[in-house]
Amino acid sequence: MPPRHSKKPAIEYSTLVQVFPISTGPKQKGGRCGAMSEKKTDLGGKTDMSLVICDDDVPFLTRLGRAMESRGFDVRTAESTAEARKMISDVPPAYAVVDMRLGDGNGLDVVQLLHEKRPNARAIILTGYGNIATAVTAVKMGAVDYLSKPADADDVYAALTRDPNEKASLPENPMSADRVRWEHIQRVYEMCDRNVSETARRLNMHRRTLQRILAKRAPR
């Protein structure tokens, strides 16, 4: 009998970080994407590298999408929570990168849906309004990491592919007094399920004052 050809063993789904999908429009031509380096990366033969990226900053979304494609990911992009939620409901990705504040909602809701649809997916939250309380909430909803903007493609790639057992590095400098106050306000805000009126009541603060604080970026 002629020798039988051995079949390659099926590769299991990757447990790496999921990234939220982005719109599947025609790819634009061009070279490097600004500060996003497009180096090729060996992902170790992982089968499912589906990634959804959700961000309403279109230039950033385009650059990051190209950079992650060059690193071996199968990228879909979304500019809104509605678009990202539909992508995830239709075909849950293995990885997701989601901006926390979007024009039509909160990126944490997208992470939560992904975790429900595909519990082993890996997602990270991107935000310019970083705070400890929101980071804790993101992790509870299924995110594996939380990056402050501006984050480049190397930071995102490292977060998506990091060993789950790897410990985070310790901060070099303590928080300022302004940052401590900011963190306290954000913690109460999360405790109140992001209800501005209830948060203002508990903090004994005027509602408009609280809204202005929440709209600003975190102090250093």
State the pLDDT confidence band at 145, using cuts at 50, 70 and 90. Answer: confident
**How much is the average pLDDT of 185-191?**
81
Instruction: Evaluate whether residue 121 is within a structural domain.
Output: yes
Instruction: Evaluate whether residue 7 is within a structural domain.
Output: no
Residues 153 and 189 in one domain: no
Instruction: Evaluate whether residue 196 is within a structural domain.
Output: yes
H helical segments located in 78-143: 81-90, 107-117, 132-140
Instruction: Evaluate whether residue 129 is within a structural domain.
Output: yes
User: Which pTM does this prediction carry?
Assistant: 0.59
Percentage of the chain modeled with pLDDT above 90: 33
Residues 102 and 200 in one domain: no
**Residues in contact with 156: Cβ distance below 8 Å, sequence separation at least 6, in sequence order:** 19, 64, 68, 97, 124, 126, 147
Residues 138 and 203 in one domain: no
For residues 189 and 70, the model is more confident at 70
Q: How far is CA 78 from the centre of its chain?
A: 12
- List pLDDT tens digits, range 52-106: 999 988 888 999 999 999 999 999 999 999 999 999 999 999 999 999 888 888 8
Instruction: Evaluate whether residue 75 is within a structural domain.
Output: yes
pLDDT value at residue 175: 61
What's 206's domain CATH number?
1.10.10.60
Number of domains present in the structure of the chain: 2
Residues 73 and 152 in one domain: yes
Measured distance CA(65)–CA(54) in Å, rounded:
10
pLDDT value at residue 97: 95
Measured distance CA(198)–CA(13) in Å, rounded:
43
Please say if the pLDDT value at position 131 is more than 70: no
E-state strands within the chain: 50-54, 74-78, 95-99, 101-102, 105-106, 122-127, 143-148
Instruction: Evaluate whether residue 122 is within a structural domain.
Output: yes
Residues 106 and 182 in one domain: no
Residues 99 and 201 in one domain: no
**Structural tokens at position 214:** 């929440």
Measured distance CA(215)–CA(209) in Å, rounded:
10
Instruction: Evaluate whether residue 112 is within a structural domain.
Output: yes
Measured distance CA(125)–CA(142) in Å, rounded:
10
Supply the range of the domain harboring residue 188: 177-215
Residues 83 and 181 in one domain: no
Instruction: Evaluate whether residue 23 is within a structural domain.
Output: no
Q: Three-state SS for 118?
A: coil
- List pLDDT tens digits, range 190-215: 788 889 999 999 999 999 998 888 88
What's 71's domain CATH number?
3.40.50.2300
Percentage of the chain modeled with pLDDT above 70: 69
